[in-house]
Amino acid sequence: MPKLNENYQNLKESYLFVEIAHRVAKYTEANPDKKIIKLGIGDVTRPLEPIALKALHEGVDAMASSETFKGYGPEQGYDFVRQAVVDYYKENGIAIGADDVFISDGAKSDTGNIGDLFAKDNVVLIPDPVYPVYVDSNIMSGRQIEYIDANAENGFLPLPDKNVHADIIYICSPNNPTGAAYNKEQLKAWVDYAIANEAVILYDSAYEAFITDPELPRSIYAVEGAKKCAIEFCSLSKTAGFTGTRCAYTIVPKELTFKASNGEDMSLNSMWNRRQTTKFNGASFIVQNGAAAVLSKEGMAQCRENISYYQENAKIISDMLTKKGIRFFGGKNSPYIWFECPNGMESWEFFDYMLNNIQVVGTPGAGFGKNGQNFFRLTSFGLHENTIEAMERFDKLF
């Protein structure tokens, strides 16, 4: 009989989106004539940019003749795509090396798989509320998790506590689910803390393209010293609408080395390279061809059109919350709007209240951690007309 990884018994049932779907289905069954507007899930709705479609088609055409056919590619990604990431960072004023870049099929897989590089015996620091992948992947490996509170008092942007030691720190900025984004000074506090603790920061910048405030850093490498302590995960899912197309990139700087117990230096870049070449066979050539196209200047200009569309939705939602005097976070440098449930309601109570009275579906904050108990997440990824109608209904709710 195989001995199982019994850490799986320690996972909480991931019931958030299942429970939402269940409650919506039940309501629809009882009220088939009511139109439900969904502003809950974190998935995009705009079609791909023309430049992406063209490059994806060209990728398919390349497969049609033996001269241009592509079989297995480099596990780390094609050089032209790694270089496109380097050039994209350069546009944002940040210098990284092409061999620090690893192309993959998603940031969810990379943030989940990165744990392969670390022993079980580490203190992992994770903010609450949080994107569930960080928590569950560490529980699967049996690691000890310390939570740090993100709450209204700290603007959902917790800063390091010098009295608490951590070895591995997860940061997501702009944040899912709270929409809060760290400024450079705050990120520097984390980098300084990581260096003082000889810790590593796992930085998820999946929403960097939604940053409009030029003062806010779009990469942790905007902070001096970060290359010595941080891995950055980014994805084209939200930037370019690639949630169904699948392409992401992870930056593991060669400066990132730690002493092993035998005194030898170990490089996280070499380890990740070894991990990927062993367990991953590269993202699809066709998709990478599309990725390089959207990472170009022209591609990013097209991406920004879609992002502006979502940002208008975010403004429609934010304006309504402001009008109602409801405290909220995000919505400005993020597609998410995270607000306090009115009249002291708890998030699931508010979920039912909205569903029953105005048929608008969002995500209860409690699903992301204990600090989300009285908060609610709406996304700007819906259609304009639906967002407008949802807010008109919301206006009549109170």
Which residue number, 85 or 320, has a Cβ lying nearer to ligand PLP? Answer: 85
Residue list 73-112, contact with ligand PLP (CB under 6 A): 106-108
By CB under 6 A, residue 206 contacts ligand PLP: yes
* Measured distance CA(166)–CA(193) in Å, rounded: 9
CB of 238 to ligand PLP, least distance (A): 6
By CB under 6 A, residue 218 contacts ligand PLP: no
Stated as kind and residue range, the H or E segment containing 192 is helix 184-196
Residue list 110-169, contact with ligand PLP (CB under 6 A): 131
CB–CB of 366/347 below 8 Å? Answer: yes
Q: Which of 55, 172, 252, 268 binds ligand PLP (CB under 6 A)?
A: 172
By CB under 6 A, residue 296 contacts ligand PLP: no
* Measured distance CA(326)–CA(13) in Å, rounded: 31
Nearest CA-CA partner of 48 in 180, 245, 189: 245
By CB under 6 A, residue 284 contacts ligand PLP: no
Q: Which two tokens stand for residue 42?
A: 């974190």
By CB under 6 A, residue 178 contacts ligand PLP: no
* Measured distance CA(115)–CA(268) in Å, rounded: 11
Stated as kind and residue range, the H or E segment containing 250 is strand 248-251
Residue 13: which residues within 8 A CB-CB, separation 6 or more? none
By CB under 6 A, residue 176 contacts ligand PLP: yes
Residue list 9-68, contact with ligand PLP (CB under 6 A): 42
Residue 9: which residues within 8 A CB-CB, separation 6 or more? none
Q: Which of 37, 230, 231, 248 binds ligand PLP (CB under 6 A)?
A: 248
CB of 107 to ligand PLP, least distance (A): 4
* Measured distance CA(395)–CA(214) in Å, rounded: 32
Which residue number, 74 or 132, has a Cβ lying nearer to ligand PLP? Answer: 132
Interface ranges with ligand PLP (CB under 6 A): 42, 106-108, 131, 172, 176, 204, 206, 235, 237-238, 243, 248
